[in-house]
Amino acid sequence: MDMPAVRQRLEAEKARLRGVLDAAGRGQGTQEGGKPDQLPAEQAAETLNRELDSSVELRVRTELAEVEAALHRLDIGRYGLCEVCGGEIAEARLEAMPAARYCVADQARAERDARQRAGR
């Protein structure tokens, strides 16, 4: 697994998600770096602004949290390991979903539990 490439991908995704939140005018803590990244996303911002309802914002925030958690796991050398069983997450899965925190089996279990908690 090419960790520097993974980190780059996650950082890019983080910047993109923050850009989306900024476009909505509801971003938080985005001033910290002080470096105004020239994101091509700026042009899409107006469109996003119109379409960004609260459910979308919630989804973006969730994704951002996932990406930040993945970056943290990279920092502590736990990237690619399932948070439940500690087993290695399949590389193909990480390719498709760099912020994945569970192996396939535990992801399925977590989703089932979430559905049950939601009362369905």
Of 1, 5, 12, 85, the residue at the interface with Zn ion (CB under 5 A) is 85
Based on the shown chain and the rule CB under 5 A, indicate whether residue 83 belongs to the binding site for Zn ion.
no
Based on the shown chain and the rule CB under 5 A, indicate whether residue 84 belongs to the binding site for Zn ion.
yes
The DSSP secondary structure of the chain, one letter per residue, reads: --HHHHHHHHHHHHHHHHHHHHHTT---S-SSS------THHHHHHHHHHH--HHHHHHHHHHHHHHHHHHHHHHTT-TTB-TTT-PBPPHHHHHH-TT--S-HHHHHHHHHHHHHHTT-
Of 82, 94, 99, 100, the residue at the interface with Zn ion (CB under 5 A) is 82
Based on the shown chain and the rule CB under 5 A, indicate whether residue 52 belongs to the binding site for Zn ion.
no
Q: Go through the chain and tell me how many residues it has.
A: 120
Q: How far is the CB of 106 from Zn ion (least distance, A)?
A: 3
Span interacting with Zn ion, options 50-58, 59-67, 69-77, 82-90, rule CB under 5 A: 82-90
Q: Which of residues 88-107 bind Zn ion (CB under 5 A)?
A: 103, 106
- CB-wise, 33 or 87, nearer to Zn ion? 87
Binding site for Zn ion (CB under 5 A): 82, 84-85, 87, 103, 106
